[in-house]
């Protein structure tokens, strides 16, 4: 495991590589982000963003959604997958919001996770992005990236969340999740593109590769050439 200072530097470096890292779900308030995040399970943000504008127009708040039936909802969210289970969760979640929280989304992890369909990951997404409360959602990308780099050491999302939260100041929790999610999607994929990675010199996985493998993964333009160095043209992205 890395030190808190090194972990912080790694997240800052990833943030420079992915300056626009943020949730890609579209929402206008905490209720909409809560609904969108529940829908995003086993789906993609792009797919959810196609469905939610019509859904939010029809059910703009918890009170409206609480009056719907799961059967009414099903055809509207069909394309996000697991639509029966998600419909039941959404209606029950809205009913509980109305019955116990006055229709508002509570800015509290313990209360949020009492809602049907809401686990720690969903709660952290909403807390960190829509309610101004530090939250560090751990999804499969954060799990993969943090374990490879060596800033976490577990396959259990809750343990990884606790490890990262211990290493980082609260104000960096949501950023740490956002940058690792984007890094996992674009660079540190299941088959990692280490030659495009800004933190490879601090990455346990990269450093564990043999010298030959590291050479193969070395950034374009830095590999030794038989006939001496050549001019490298770089393109700004
Ligand atoms: S060096 Fe490779 S394995 Fe390590 S974080 Fe970067 S892309 Fe992932």
Q: Cβ-count burial of 99 within 10 angstroms (0-12 exposed, 13-18 middle, 19+ buried)?
A: exposed
Per residue in 171-201, pLDDT (tens digit) is 999 999 999 999 999 999 999 999 999 999 9
* Protein residue with least CA distance to atom 4, ligand 1: 203
Ligand 1 proximal residues by C-beta, below 6 Å: 145, 148-149, 187-188, 192-194, 197, 199-200, 203, 205-206
In a domain, 231, yes or no: no
CA distance 188 to 205: 11
- Return the pLDDT at 217: 66
What's the chain's average pLDDT?
92
The minimum-distance atom of ligand 1 relative to the CA of 200 is: 1
CA distance 12 to 89: 37
At 98, list the tokens.
Answer: 């109305």
Instruction: State in Å: Cα 201 to ligand 1 middle.
Output: 9
* Protein residue with least CA distance to atom 2, ligand 1: 194
Task: Kindly report the pTM of this predicted structure.
Answer: 0.87
Instruction: State in Å: Cα 92 to ligand 1 middle.
Output: 41
At 170, list the tokens.
Answer: 């609260």
Whether the per-residue pLDDT at 229 is higher than 90: the answer is no
Residues constituting the chain: 237
Whether the per-residue pLDDT at 209 is higher than 50: the answer is yes
Instruction: State in Å: Cα 122 to ligand 1 middle.
Output: 26
The minimum-distance atom of ligand 1 relative to the CA of 193 is: 7
Percent of the chain residues topping a pLDDT of 70: 90
CA distance 40 to 61: 18
**What CATH number does residue 61 fall under?**
1.10.340.30
In a domain, 111, yes or no: yes
- Return the pLDDT at 236: 36
The minimum-distance atom of ligand 1 relative to the CA of 192 is: 7
Per residue in 45-82, pLDDT (tens digit) is 999 999 999 999 999 999 999 999 999 999 999 999 99
Per residue in 104-151, pLDDT (tens digit) is 999 999 999 999 999 999 999 999 999 999 999 999 999 999 999 999
Task: Tell me which residue range forms the domain holding 63.
Answer: 30-130
Which residues are catalytically annotated? 121, 139
Q: Mutate which of 11, 142, 149, 180 to test ligand 1's pocket (most atoms within 8 Å of Cβ)?
A: 149
- Return the pLDDT at 181: 97
In a domain, 137, yes or no: no
In a domain, 152, yes or no: no
Q: Can you tell me which residue has the tokens 């374990």?
A: 147
- Return the pLDDT at 175: 98
- Return the pLDDT at 1: 83
Number of compact structural domains in the chain: 1
Instruction: State in Å: Cα 49 to ligand 1 middle.
Output: 29
Q: How confident is the model at residue 44 (pLDDT cuts 50, 70, 90)?
A: very high
In a domain, 91, yes or no: yes
In a domain, 226, yes or no: no
* Protein residue with least CA distance to atom 8, ligand 1: 188
Instruction: State in Å: Cα 200 to ligand 1 middle.
Output: 6
In a domain, 120, yes or no: yes
Average pLDDT for 39-47: 95
- Return the pLDDT at 223: 46
- Return the pLDDT at 179: 98
Q: How confident is the model at residue 40 (pLDDT cuts 50, 70, 90)?
A: very high
In a domain, 193, yes or no: no
The number of angstroms, rounded, from the C-alpha of 65 to the middle of its chain's C-alpha atoms is 26
Q: Mutate which of 195, 206, 213 to test ligand 1's pocket (most atoms within 8 Å of Cβ)?
A: 206
């Amino acid at each position: 495991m890395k030190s808190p200072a090194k972990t912080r530097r790694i997240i800052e470096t990833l943030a420079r590589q992915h300056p626009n890292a943020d949730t890609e779900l579209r929402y206008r308030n905490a209720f909409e982000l809560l609904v969108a995040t529940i829908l995003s399970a086993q789906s993609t943000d792009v797919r959810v963003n196609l469905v939610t504008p019509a859904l939010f127009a029809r059910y703009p708040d918890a009170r409206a959604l609480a009056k719907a039936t799961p059967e009414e909802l099903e055809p509207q969210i069909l394309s996000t997958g697991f639509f029966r289970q998600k419909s039941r969760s959404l209606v029950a979640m809205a009913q509980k919001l109305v019955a116990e929280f006055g229709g508002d989304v509570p800015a509290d992890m313990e209360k949020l996770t009492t809602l049907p369909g809401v686990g720690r990951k969903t709660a952290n997404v909403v807390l960190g992005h829509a309610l101004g409360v530090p939250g560090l959602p751990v999804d499969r990308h954060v799990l993969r990236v943090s374990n490879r780099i060596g800033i976490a050491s577990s396959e259990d999302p809750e343990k990884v969340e606790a490890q990262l939260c211990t290493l980082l100041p609260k104000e960096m929790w949501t950023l740490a999740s956002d940058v690792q999610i984007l890094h996992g999607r674009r660079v540190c994929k299941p088959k990692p593109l280490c030659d495009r990675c800004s933190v490879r010199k601090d990455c346990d996985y990269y450093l564990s590769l043999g010298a030959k493998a590291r050479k193969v993964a070395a950034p374009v333009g830095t590999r030794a050439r038989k006939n001496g160095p050549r001019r490298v043209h770089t393109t700004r992205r």
